[in-house]
């Protein structure tokens, strides 16, 4: 019996050779699937169930995929999107925490964000990134 399981694990290792396996994006997909199943149970909406099933299939597809290069590209994309989302949320949090002392302005040209102390009045702001000028009231 021990031999049987030994063979099985050997076979599995052999099967997984050259395949992509598990990464952070697959983990994210499984979390999406769990949330999707939970939401579909609570709301009875088929859409969440469909999303969950698709997420599971996709994570398995990635696990056994032999196109390692494409999967690595997906992982990089996932990290870059995740980084942007995290950055956006931390900026919102900061803006909310400093809402009484500072006003934030977004440069319409390059989308970078600058903050100025409140209560100065009308000022000309020069974007430190692209040198675009804007007149704002703080």
Considering only 109, 118, 133, 137, the residue that binds Zn ion (CB under 5 A) is: 109
User: Least distance (Å) from Zn ion to the CB of residue 86?
Assistant: 22
Q: What share of the chain is helix, strand, coil (3-state, %, to 5)?
A: 60, 15, 25
Considering only 132, 134, 136, 138, the residue that binds Zn ion (CB under 5 A) is: 132
Is residue 130 a contact residue for Zn ion (CB under 5 A)? yes
- For 18: left if phi > 0, alpha if psi spans -120 to 50, otherwise beta; the answer is left
Is residue 65 a contact residue for Zn ion (CB under 5 A)? no
Label residue 102 exposed, middle or buried (CB < 10 Å: 0-12, 13-18, 19+): middle
* Residues pairing with 5 in the sheet: none
Q: Is the CB of 87 or the CB of 129 nearer to Zn ion? A: 129
Q: Is the CB of 16 or the CB of 130 nearer to Zn ion? A: 130
User: Least distance (Å) from Zn ion to the CB of residue 94?
Assistant: 19
Rule CB under 5 A: which residues touch Zn ion?
Answer: 107, 109-110, 127, 129-130, 132
């Amino acid at each position: 019996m021990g031999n049987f399981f030994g063979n099985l694990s050997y076979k599995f290792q052999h099967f997984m050779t050259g395949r992509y396996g598990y990464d952070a994006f697959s983990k994210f997909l499984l979390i999406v699937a769990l949330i999707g199943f939970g939401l579909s149970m609570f709301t009875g909406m088929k859409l969440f169930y469909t999303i969950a099933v698709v997420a599971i299939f996709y994570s398995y597809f990635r696990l056994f995929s032999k196109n390692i290069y494409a999967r690595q590209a997906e992982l990089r994309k996932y990290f870059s999107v995740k980084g942007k989302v995290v950055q956006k949320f931390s900026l919102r949090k900061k803006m909310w925490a400093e809402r009484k002392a500072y006003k934030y302005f977004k440069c319409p040209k390059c989308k970078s964000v600058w903050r100025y102390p409140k209560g100065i009045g009308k000022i000309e702001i020069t974007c430190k990134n692209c040198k675009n000028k804007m007149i704002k009231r703080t």
